Chains A and B, each alone.
Chain A
Amino acid sequence: MTSGAIMTLFFIPFFSSGDSFSGLSAYGNLFLVLYLMVLGPLGNALGVGASGSPFGAMGITRGLTRLFAMELPFYIAVIAIMSLSGSADIATIALGQTTFNAFVYPLLFIAALISFIGMMGQSPFDVVGAPVEVYSGPASEFSGKFLALLMSQSAIFTFAKLVLMVHLFLGGASGFLELLLKTFVLFILVISFGAIYGRFKTPQSVDFLIKVPTTIAVVGLLLATWS
C-alpha cells in the first residue's frame, strides 16, 4: 500500500514546467494516476483483512463502500477537465490554464472538492477511521513499524492528492514556494471543512456523494460543454 502511494507520487509532476521533480510523469498520464490512486485503499484492505480484527474489517468495508460513491463525482470532474483541456498529461493541463480551472469551471471544482474532502478522510466523510466509533478502523490492529508504514502511506498520499488537485484546478506551480502556498491553501480549506461538520453515517455519506456532488459535476459538465 505504501508502494501504491509512492508510485502515485512518482507519476505526478511537482512543477508544471521544467524537468526537475517531474519523476516518471513523462511516461504516465492522468489515467495511470487515477488508476494508481485506488491501489492504496486496496492494499490497505488486503493488509487489514489479514489481521482479523473486527474493527479493521468494519473500517475497511466502510472505506470501500465510500470509495464507490466518492469516485463518481471526482472522475466526472477530472475527466471533464481532461477533455476540455484536450490532454491527459498533467503538466499540460496545468500549463494550459490562463485563468485557474477552479474559476473557469467552478461547478466542476466544487464537485471535485467535495469528494476530495472525503479522500482526505475529513469530516463529514471520515467514516473509515472514525474515532471512538470504530477506534481507528483499518489501523486498529497495527503497531510498530506496520503502523509507521500505514501512517507514512497516508501522509505521502495526502501530498500526492494535494499536488494533483493543484495541477488540475489551480494552475500548477512553477516553484517550491508557489507549490507550498497552493497546497497549503487547499489543505487548510479541507481541514476547515472537517472542523465545521460532524460525521455522516456510511449510508448517509454514500447517499450524499451520489446525489449532491454528482449532480453538481454533471451540471458543470453540461454547462462547460454547452459554451
Chain B
Amino acid sequence: MEHNGFIQEQKTLEGDLNSDTSHKNSVDFLMNWFRKRSIFVLAYGTGCGAIEMPPTFTSRYDAERLGIRGAATPRQADVIIVSGYCSYKTLRRIIRTYEQMSNPKYVLALGSCTINGGMYWDSYNTIKKLEDYMPVDMYVNGCMPRPESILEGFLALQKEIGEGKASSWQKYEENYEFYRKNQEAVLGEKVEPSYDADWYLYDVGL
C-alpha cells in the first residue's frame, strides 16, 4: 500500500468492492449493496482476539468509514465475530447468540484457533474446528490478526455479500442435524446454556 494519504488508502481498500457484476437483477443488486454497506457487528468478544477489535472500530482504524459499526444486541447485529479459541463454555454462548440473530447473518472467525485449534490443539476443553459447530463466512488467519487484517477480512466479506455469495445462515438451516450432532458431541444433550435466575449458583453446565 503506497503512502499517499488517507484518500489513497481508502481507494486501495475499496478497490474491487464496487466491481461486482454478478447480481441477478437490480433489486438483488440494491439489497446486497445496502447489506454490504451497513454491517452491524455484535459487540461480543470470545478469546484473546477481542483485544484487536477496539482499535479496529475506534478512531485509529475507523471501520465505520466502510459502513461497519457496532451493535449492542444480537437482534440488531448482522455479523458475529468469533475472535479466537472457543472453550466449550463459550461455545454454548456463541451458539445461543448466533441463533438469536436474525437473517441474513454472517460469521467472521479470527485467528488460527478457529481454523484448526491453533496453539490450543491439545487442549481438553476447547474445540478445534469452528466450522464443525457453526457455519463460517470468512476466516482471518494470524495469531492474532492485526486490525489491518481484520479490515481486509471485512472487505472480503463485504465483497461476498455484494455478490450474494455469503449465505452461511442458509447452510446452517439446511444442515442443522449435522451441526447439532457435533454440538451435542461436545456439549451434551442440552446445548443451550441454563439461564435460571440463580444460574451463577447452580450452573452445572461446563
| B182 part of interface (Cβ distance < 8 Å) | no
B102 touches A135 (CB 8 A): no
Q: B73 touching A140 by the CB < 8 A rule?
A: yes
Give a binary string over A148-186; 1 marks a CB under 8 Å from any B CB, 0 the rest. Answer: 000000000000000000000000000000000000000
Q: Which residues of A contact B102 (CB under 8 A)?
A: 143-144
Chain B nearest Cβ from A5, distance in angstroms = 20
Let me know if B175 is at the binding interface, CB within 8 A.
no
CB distance from B40 to the nearest CB of A (A): 9
In chain B, positions 150-173 with a C-beta closer than 8 Å to chain A are none
Chain A residues within an 8 Å CB radius of B71? 136
User: With A and B bound together, what is the CA distance between A144 and B105 in angstroms?
Assistant: 11
- Shortest Cβ distance from A127 into chain B, in angstroms? 15
* Size of interface on B: residues with Cβ below 8 Å to A: 7
Q: Is the CB of B76 within 8 A of A143?
A: yes
Closest-by-CB residue of A relative to B71 is A136
Chain A, residues 112-153, CB within 8 Å of chain B (1/0): the string is 000000000000000000010001100111111001000000
Q: How large is the interface on A (under 10, 10 to 19, 20 to 34, 35 or more residues)?
A: 10 to 19
Could you mark each residue 84-104 of chain B with 1 if its beta carbon is under 8 Å from any beta carbon of chain A, else 0?
A: 000000000000000001100
Task: Specify which chain B residues have a CB less than 8 angstroms from the CB of A140 in the assembled complex.
Answer: 72-73, 75-76
A143 near B72 with CB under 8 A, answer no
Interface string of B41-85 (1 = CB under 8 A from A): 000000000000000000000000000000111011000000000
What is the CA–CA distance of A73 and B161 in the complex, to the nearest angstrom? 49
Q: Are A141 and B72 in touch, CB under 8 angstroms? A: no
Contacts of B76 in A (CB 8 A): 136, 139-140, 142-143, 147
CA distance A55 to B75 in the complex (A): 13
A residues near B72, Cβ cutoff 8 Å:
131, 135-136, 139-140
Cα A136 to Cα B73 in complex, Å, equals 7
Nearest CB of chain A from residue B76's CB, rounded to whole Å: 6
Interface residues of A in 53-107 (CB under 8 A from B): 55
Q: Which A residues lie within 8 Å of B73 (CB)?
A: 55, 135-136, 139-141
Residue interface mask B9-37, A partner, CB < 8 A = 1? 00000000000000000000000000000
> Cα distance A136–B75 when bound, in Å?
11
Q: Which B residues are CB-close (under 8 A) to A144? A: 102
A121 to B141, CA, bound (A): 40
Q: State A136–B77 Cα separation when bound (angstroms).
A: 12
Q: How far is the CB of B111 from chain A (nearest CB, A)?
A: 25
Question: Which chain B positions have C-beta within 8 A of A55?
Answer: 73
- Residues of chain B within 8 A of A131, CB atoms compared: 72
Residue of B nearest to A147 (CB): B76
A142 surroundings in chain B (CB, below 8 A): 75-76
Give CA–CA (A139, B77) in the complex, Å.
12
Question: How many Å lie between the Cα of A167 and that of B72 in the bound state?
Answer: 35
When chains A and B are docked, how far (Å) is the Cα of A147 from the Cα of B101? 13
**8 pairs, A vs B, C-beta closer than 8 Å:** A131-B72, A136-B72, A140-B72, A141-B73, A141-B75, A143-B76, A143-B101, A147-B75
